[in-house]
Structure 1
Amino acid sequence: MEKFTLEILFQIIGIGSASGLFYNNDALYVIGDNSGFLYEYNMQNQQLNQHALIDNPTQNIPKNLKPDFESLTHHNDTLYVFGSGSTENRNKMIEFDMKSKTVLQKNNLVDLYVVMQNFGEIKPQDFNLEGAIFDGENWYLFNRGNGISNKNTIFTIHAKNLGEEFALISVNYKLPKIKGVRSSFTDAILVDDKIYFLSTAEDTKSTYDDGEILGSFIGRIDVKTMKIDFTQKITSTNKFEGLTFYKKENNKIEFLLCEDNDTEVLETKIYKLTLPIK
């Protein structure tokens, strides 16, 4: 693949362990996997606002109690924030209205997650959703294969609402390795008819415990065939967990990325990744 560029664009003080982000009209919405807030950062005036997603939210919720918000997607004016499903208190999905800045609905997806585990033959201890896409007709949910079974799986759920009847498809992927450790999905977005995804190699066999970070990839999947077009290693040191479309021009596509620093320090670096379009 042709040359890519990765640079630090800016740093936000007040957000820790960033796990997902969405860029919209100079506003950057960010979630953290140990926070009960949705953050809204104005890139023009550097103003940071926070919106409560749960009752009595705090910035650094203890690991055994946190809702583990790992995925952020949108459709029209609604943001959808997903818990990872990796423990029993991580099954929430919050719908947030970007216009009124209010929570529209809080959902418990425990029943759906059990169906997905059974259908995809993923044990509960290997179930860990870290990416979500909604196009108005289909939901694409990405299981991060950082458990013992290395199940990197995309679930496609055909339904306008996750509370109604649905058709379900699952596809497993073998993602590239670093130093013998297979990378696993950490986020994904839809741009036109292509899914761009992040995957990270982390030396752990647990969806709960963190391990040594070995690097991250960007990759692309054709949404019609669900086959991988390419993967490209972009770092040997960063655990990138959030991806959002930034702009497209001059045969290049730009994304904003965030990383999970796995600490309680409330600062987040936002990176810009530029790729040639091919």
Structure 2
Amino acid sequence: MEKITLELLFQINGIGSASGLIYRDDSLFIISDNSSFLYEYNIQEKELHKIKLFEKSQENIPKKDKFDFESITQKGNKFYLFGSGSTPNRNKRISYDLTSAAIEDKDLSAIYGKLKQTASISDADLNIEGSLFHNEKWHLFQRGNGAQSKNGLFVLDKKENDIRFFPIPLPKIQNIEATFTDAILVEDKIYFLAAAENTTSTYDDGEVLGSFIGALSFDTFEVAFTQKISATHKFEGLSLYTSSKENIEFLLCEDKDTEALETDIYKLTLNLK
């Protein structure tokens, strides 16, 4: 079993329902699943800045109207934010250029339709919660917390015009399977978060039963390890903080499923010895 420690690092006021984060140059870039802002928090200065993704960006958007940004990743000099796809208005992908601050909006309805067709997933059960780009391919992590329980990984090869789906079973808590909530690539492994939630809906929240950290082999997508890290928290964001031969440190954020504009940031240390 991997040696893991988890500690609360600090709290950020002004952000609620955090669903993804990226650590870069002593700042945290954070998304919220009920907001249409991208947040930048300077750790040393303890200052929070809001980046408008739309002309009329809002916080605490009603559930039926929200874009449900559940995933943020970096490709080149841009951040990419993905809507979950769990309703028609959650099919957007936003890019943010780190140099020019230019923002682009893309409708992924057609691509998300192909994902559902490839994996035989119903409209209500698509739920993209993690993303990464590597070897000219997008890797999108499907949280299988819907009625069909299809948890796994989509690999999109644009050059070959090919989409593949890899089902990935994860551990259970009280007979409820944990499902992906975020993932990042570190060297030759995909480290991921997964949560067990007592619901069969991608739309309605359920009782949180716990969260896991784990890793997949990048070559085979086989599960290398999983370990429960909490019985009460639903961690939804994962970013690399520091790494050495002895340890990897990650930063995590938690979605509390409330309208409170506060976000706890945790540090998880994985001992590699």
TM superposition shift of 1:100: 2.4
1:81 and 2:73 aligned: no
- Length-normalised TM-score, structure 2: 0.97
Deviations 1:228-275 (A, max 9, x none): 100010000100000000101251100000010101100000000001
Alpha-carbon separation, structure 2, partners of 1:23 and 1:262: 23
Alpha-carbon separation, structure 2, partners of 1:166 and 1:198: 29
Alpha-carbon separation, structure 2, partners of 1:183 and 1:250: 29
* Residues 16-31 of structure 1 aligned to structure 2 (within 5 Å): 16-31=16-31
Alpha-carbon separation, structure 1, partners of 2:191 and 2:158: 22
Asked whether the equivalents of residues 36 and 53 of structure 2 are also in contact (C-alpha less than 8 Å), the reply is yes
Alpha-carbon separation, structure 2, partners of 1:127 and 1:121: 10
Corresponding residue for residue 246 of structure 1: 241
Asked whether the equivalents of residues 75 and 136 of structure 1 are also in contact (C-alpha less than 8 Å), the reply is no
TM superposition shift of 1:159: 2.7
Larger displacement relative to structure 2 (29-38 or 48-57): 48-57
Q: Could you tell me which amino acid in structure 1 is paired with residue 261 of structure 2?
A: L
SS at match of 1:118: helix
TM superposition shift of 1:166: 2.4
Deviations 1:82-107 (A, max 9, x none): 0000000000000101122331x110
Alpha-carbon separation, structure 2, partners of 1:119 and 1:69: 22
Corresponding residue for residue 163 of structure 2: 168
* Residues 150-169 of structure 1 aligned to structure 2 (within 5 Å): 150-159=149-158, 166-169=161-164
Stretches of structure 2 that go unaligned for 5 or more consecutive residues are none
Q: Could you tell me which amino acid in structure 2 is paired with residue 21 of structure 1?
A: L
* Residues 174-189 of structure 1 aligned to structure 2 (within 5 Å): 174-189=169-184
1:226 and 2:225 aligned: no
Corresponding residue for residue 127 of structure 1: 126
Deviations 1:182-236 (A, max 9, x none): 1110000011111001000000010000000000001100111111100010000
Corresponding residue for residue 11 of structure 2: 11
Corresponding residue for residue 101 of structure 1: 101
TM superposition shift of 1:77: 1.3
Asked whether the equivalents of residues 129 and 144 of structure 1 are also in contact (C-alpha less than 8 Å), the reply is yes
Asked whether the equivalents of residues 51 and 101 of structure 1 are also in contact (C-alpha less than 8 Å), the reply is no
Corresponding residue for residue 206 of structure 1: 201
SS at match of 1:4: strand
Alpha-carbon separation, structure 1, partners of 2:155 and 2:2: 31
Asked whether the equivalents of residues 152 and 169 of structure 2 are also in contact (C-alpha less than 8 Å), the reply is no
TM superposition shift of 1:9: 0.6
TM superposition shift of 1:76: 2.0
- Length-normalised TM-score, structure 1: 0.96
Stretches of structure 1 that go unaligned for 5 or more consecutive residues are none
TM superposition shift of 1:276: 1.5
Alpha-carbon separation, structure 1, partners of 2:2 and 2:63: 40
Alpha-carbon separation, structure 2, partners of 1:187 and 1:45: 27
SS at match of 2:229: strand
Alpha-carbon separation, structure 2, partners of 1:80 and 1:181: 31
Larger displacement relative to structure 2 (110-119 or 92-101): 92-101
SS at match of 2:67: coil
Alpha-carbon separation, structure 2, partners of 1:101 and 1:240: 28
Alpha-carbon separation, structure 1, partners of 2:102 and 2:118: 34
Q: Could you tell me which amino acid in structure 2 is paired with residue 274 of structure 1?
A: T
Asked whether the equivalents of residues 240 and 259 of structure 1 are also in contact (C-alpha less than 8 Å), the reply is yes
Alpha-carbon separation, structure 1, partners of 2:231 and 2:239: 21
Alpha-carbon separation, structure 1, partners of 2:183 and 2:141: 8
TM superposition shift of 1:277: 2.1
Dislocated runs of 4+, deviation >4 Å: none
